[in-house]
Structure formats: C-alpha cells, structure tokens
C-alpha cells in the first residue's frame, strides 16, 4: 500500500495502518481497551457495509486511535461528495478519549481539519454530547460496547460497528437460541441487526483475547407498539434476570427492577400459556404486549 512518511502527502484511504501507528508514536494499550485494526482489507471493506441508501454526509467514528479507519471514512466522505457535487456539506467527526491520539489525528489529518471535513472531539463517548451525525462507523472499545451501543441505537441512524464476537452474536440472536437475551430484544427493538463480517484477532495490534465481528444496524420502527419505551426496556431487563424461571415467576420476582407496584395483577391478567413460557422463548413483540399489560395492570412506579 502507498504511504508517505508524513500524512499530508497521502490521499485519503491510502494510509498504511502500521505506518500510522508508527507516526502516532504510541502503541495501542490493551489495558485501556485499545486494539488497532491493522488489516487493510478489513479496513477497506468496513465503510462499504453502510446501507446503500444511508446518508453519509455526517459520519461519526468513536475511538479513532491512530486514524486507520478515520482515513477510510474521509475517503468515503470525499468520494461520495465528489459523486454528488456536495462537498461543502460533508464532515467526519471522531470522538477520541486518549488525548495523545486526539492530537495526532488533528496533526495527521490537518488538511481535512482545515477544510472543515474532519472534526476531532477529545473526550469519552459516554460523557460528551454526541454531535449531529447521519451514520456511525466505528471500532468500539469492547469494555464499553453495551453502553455506547445503547447510546447510539436510540438515535435511529445506520451503524456499522465492530464488537466482540460474543457480544455481536447476542445482538443478532433469535428467540429460543442460547445467546438470545436482553441485548437481543433491546437491539432489535431499534433496528434490523446483522453480522456482516467476522474478524480474526490477527487483524488487530495488539491482538485481543477474543474474535470480533462487524455488525450493521439498520434503523426501523418495530412491528409492535410500546406506550413507554423506558419501561419496556426496563421490563425486558427485569425478566431476563430470571431467564430460567417461568414468565409467571419472573414477573413476580423482579418488581423491584421493573418498577411494578402490583405484579400479581399482571400475572392474573396474562395468558396462561405465556406465563408458563421462559423469557428466552418470547419474541420481542410478545415482550411488548406483556409490557403493555404490565403498564396497564401493574401500575409501574416512576423510574
């Protein structure tokens, strides 16, 4: 791959990830949940996993590191802008927690910053205000995958995100499968979720202890209605803490989590076949119907 000793001489999308890491002057620190994606082929494919009709005008990356994926996103943004003749409106925003890497990104991509194409926000993605974005493409820190995912999903924007493979498997699992749980129901409430590529640990430096997977989340409205989304998600969380129990006992045993004042009223009103089921066998729509019944009959207290 073409690369120069200084970033400004290299076209977007052509920077070698190993050379970027050398220029950054610091290795990724696994103790800080940092693992650089260094496989050119994977890096080149990732932006292309966005849905064909996704708005690419405001791309968000979380955890830019030494900028290998940032470089590919800039290439996608500038290439799309050239195709549409709409370059002034394009922007890539990177949120980077590590101050040294944030400063390196500003230096490495100084021309993009000067042109208004790139903005680097130094801070924790769990704490900073999210900038306006049309889609997010990121290699997330695995230790906070869940927290970041559930900050992004309610925004209802397309996501192409690298997760630990086990986490990804739980996101896409269907009712009745061993991996199916709170994460599956909650993620699929917001989007169609699919694994688009599995990535071996050798694609990273330093190598993580686990395999990884790229997940695409395409936002859509669920095929059911919930009157209180926060209660629905809390109710799902509560029942899955008792996943080996029947739904009857799970509702009774988790009122302190779901916030129900009268779980017995919910049990008395629910269908007997449903009550004999286990939480892990319920489709998201069944959870939604039961949550609505719980809201009506169980008088959920305010969270």
Average pLDDT, integer, range 172-184: 97
pLDDT of 1 higher than 60: no
pLDDT of 267 higher than 70: yes
Q: What is the chain's length?
A: 303
Known binding-site residues equal 35, 37, 63, 96, 124, 139
Residue 69 · residue 77 · CB < 8 Å: no
- Residue 303 — pLDDT band, cuts 50, 70, 90? very low
Residue 24 · residue 86 · CB < 8 Å: no
User: Rounded to whole angstroms, what are the CA distances from 134 to 171, 250, 264?
Assistant: 22, 39, 44
Six token digits for residue 188: 């699929």
Secondary structure element (H or E) that encloses residue 263, with its range: helix 263-269
Q: pLDDT tens for residues 59-88?
A: 999 999 999 999 999 999 887 655 555 545
pLDDT of residue 80: 60
Known binding-site residues for S-adenosyl-L-methionine equal 35, 37, 63, 96, 124, 139
pLDDT of residue 31: 65
Q: What is the pTM of this model?
A: 0.90
- Residue 211 — pLDDT band, cuts 50, 70, 90? very high
pLDDT of residue 81: 53
- Rounded to a whole number of angstroms, the CA Rg of the chain reads 22
- Residue 5 — pLDDT band, cuts 50, 70, 90? very low
Distance CA(67)–CA(87), nearest Å, equals 21
Mean pLDDT over each residue of the chain, to the nearest integer: 91
**What is 7-219's CATH topology?**
Rossmann fold (3.40.50)
pLDDT of residue 16: 94
pLDDT of residue 143: 87
pLDDT of residue 235: 97
Residue 17 · residue 40 · CB < 8 Å: yes
pLDDT of residue 28: 64
Give the start-end residues of each E strand in the chain.
Answer: 36-37, 58-62, 91-96, 118-122, 135-139, 159-164, 191-199, 204-205, 212-219
Lowest mean pLDDT among 48-62, 81-95, 208-222: 81-95
pLDDT of residue 156: 96
């Amino acid at each position: 791959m073409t690369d120069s000793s200084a970033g400004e001489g290299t076209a977007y999308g052509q920077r070698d990830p190993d050379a970027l890491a050398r220029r950054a002057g610091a290795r990724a620190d696994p103790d800080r949940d940092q693992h650089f994606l260094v496989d050119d082929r994977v890096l080149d494919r990732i932006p292309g996993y966005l849905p064909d009709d996704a708005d690419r005008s405001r791309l968000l990356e979380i955890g830019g590191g030494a900028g290998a994926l940032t470089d590919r996103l800039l290439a996608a943004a500038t290439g799309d802008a050239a195709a549409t003749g709409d370059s002034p409106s394009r922007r890539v925003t990177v949120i980077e927690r590590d101050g040294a890497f944030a400063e390196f990104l500003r230096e490495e991509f100084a021309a993009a910053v000067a042109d208004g194409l790139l903005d680097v926000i130094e801070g924790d993605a769990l704490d900073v205000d999210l900038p306006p974005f049309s889609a997010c493409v990121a290699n997330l820190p695995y230790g906070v995958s869940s927290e970041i995912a559930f900050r992004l999903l309610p925004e209802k924007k397309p996501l192409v995100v690298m997760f630990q493979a086990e986490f990804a498997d739980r996101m896409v699992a269907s009712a009745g499968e061993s991996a199916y749980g709170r994460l599956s129901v909650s993620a699929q409430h917001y989007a169609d979720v699919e694994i688009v590529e599995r990535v071996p640990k050798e694609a990273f430096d330093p190598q993580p202890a686990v395999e990884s997977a790229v997940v695409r989340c395409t936002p859509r409205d669920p095929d059911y209605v919930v009157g209180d989304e926060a209660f629905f998600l809390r109710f799902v969380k509560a029942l899955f803490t008792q996943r080996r129990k029947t739904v009857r006992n799970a509702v009774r045993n988790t009122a302190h989590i779901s916030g129900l004042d009268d779980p017995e009223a919910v049990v008395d009103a629910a269908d007997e076949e449903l009550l004999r089921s286990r939480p892990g066998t319920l489709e998201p729509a069944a959870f939604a119907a039961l949550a609505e019944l719980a809201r009506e009959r169980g008088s959920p207290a305010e969270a």
